[in-house]
Amino acid sequence: MKVLILAWEFPPRIVGGIARHVAELYPELVKRGHQIHIITVEFGQAPRYEVVDGVHVHRVSVHRSDNFFHWVANMNESMGRHGGKLLLEEGPFDLIHAHDWLVGDAAIALKHTFKVPLVATIHATEFGRYNGVYSDQQRYVSSKEGILAYNAWRIIVCTNYMRLEVERALDIPWDKIDVVYNGIHLEKKCPEDFDPQEFRHRFAADHEKIVYYIGRMTYEKGVSVLLSAAPKVIREMDGNVKFVLIGSGNLDAVKRQAWDMGIWDKCYFTGFMSDDDLNKFRVIADCSVFPSLYEPFGIVVLENFAARVPVVVSDTGGFPEIVRHTKTGVVTWTNNPDSLAWGILEVLKNPDYAQWLVDNAYEDLDRRFCWTKLAQQTEAVYGRILHERAQVHW
């Protein structure tokens, strides 16, 4: 098959989880004999065209705008023009695959102009992020998601939870939606000459256990819930614990909360951390915590499975599907600091149990989250669409 992918982020441009998803899935489809072209947004010194792991990557320029929605419109204009050129000069293509609403306008225009079936992966919904749609801005985004979903021949989502959400929030028939999990590669990421003890001293004293969170500092990620749980953990651990929070976003608010709660000396806010340092950090961490209020999948959990760091999560969204409670991690009640504190203490106070959890979690990666298997499932969705396309007159 020959497939055109539209994604608004692709390495080295990384905004959220889509970049990693796209960068890791499509090389596996190339290995299976398919030709993949990706149109994405230019970034820094990255080439306008290159072949990455067998995937043809096209980066388009986008006119700057202070308004995010204007910028998205400009991006779709650029992607539509370049996509049309590709479909004319490199065609015919069998499928167009759009990742989220941001590239929807270009994908839908190309679909109708060239009569090529459209697949859409919905990574999250505006309804889910805010537990409803309230403002004009949210209504606009939600309408764009609905238009993309309506125009797609089939829709791919990352968990059964998201299948239910897309059906409910976007009014999409259940049998139009396929579930394909996110995955991860298990290659060793830590340098050989790395000194864990020396690196650890940057964040905590020798007697302190390291509990860490990584992600955006936003309401939906539940960082305030983690800080509310921290005093109980600190008390139960006799002060021998350090909370390391990695990521950017609304840092002022979470820093103020830590200060007001009197736990400032037990918190370390790193801001952005490079991938190299992050790979080292996971070696020294004792517990990873993801207390999200909304989480369609949570690929960061798989990264900790791979690094053998015990995982504590909330029971929101796709987390309970990814983390098997008391088997591969600890699942706690959403937006409940006491429950979250209990989960963290289960890991910190029971090292043998924590080790058992990470061993099980590592085995689960190959069983359920291997990109090779997930590429086969994606290929099956593509194959179904092509079979159905052959039966109809457009």
Same domain, 19 and 130: yes
The mean pLDDT value of the chain amounts to 93
Same domain, 62 and 204: no
- Give burial (CB, 10 Å; 0-12/13-18/19+) of 376: middle
- pLDDT tens by residue, 261-288: 999 999 999 998 888 898 899 999 999 9
Closest by CA position to 296, among listed 276, 319, 275: 319
Question: What backbone phi and psi angles, to 5 degrees, belong to 63?
Answer: -60, 135
Same domain, 203 and 67: no
* Span 335-364, average pLDDT: 95
* pLDDT over 90 at 167, yes or no: yes
State residue 299's pLDDT score. Answer: 83
> Which pairing describes strands 154-157 and 95-99: parallel, antiparallel, or unpaired?
unpaired
CB 358 within 8 A of CB 309: yes
Q: Is residue 57 part of a domain?
A: yes
Q: Is residue 190 part of a domain?
A: no
Amino acid at 29: L
Same domain, 254 and 345: yes
Q: Is residue 189 part of a domain?
A: no
Task: Give the predicted TM-score (pTM) of the model.
Answer: 0.86
- pLDDT tens by residue, 292-311: 998 888 888 999 999 999 99
Q: Is residue 188 part of a domain?
A: no
Q: Is residue 68 part of a domain?
A: yes
Q: Which residues contact 71 (CB under 8 A, 6 or more apart)?
A: 62, 63, 64, 65
State residue 129's pLDDT score. Answer: 84
Amino acid at 365: L
Distance between CA atoms of residues 28 and 3, nearest Å: 13
Q: Is residue 374 part of a domain?
A: yes
State residue 194's pLDDT score. Answer: 79
HEC readout, 320-338: HHHCCECCCEEEECCCCHH
State residue 294's pLDDT score. Answer: 86
Same domain, 256 and 306: yes
Q: Is residue 191 part of a domain?
A: no
Same domain, 288 and 253: yes
Q: Which domain holds residue 345?
A: 196-368
Q: Is residue 219 part of a domain?
A: yes
* Span 340-353, average pLDDT: 96
Same domain, 202 and 173: no
Same domain, 241 and 168: no
Same domain, 253 and 321: yes
How far does CA 91 lie from the centroid of its chain?
31
Same domain, 164 and 231: no
- Can you spell out the DSSP letters for 178-201? EE----B-----S-TT--HHHHHT
CB 311 within 8 A of CB 301: yes
* pLDDT over 70 at 191, yes or no: no
State how many domains the chain has.
Answer: 2
Same domain, 327 and 235: yes
CATH of residue 241's domain is 3.40.50.2000
Same domain, 100 and 215: no
- pLDDT tens by residue, 51-81: 999 999 999 999 999 999 999 999 999 999 9
CB 25 within 8 A of CB 371: yes
How far does CA 378 lie from the centroid of its chain?
17
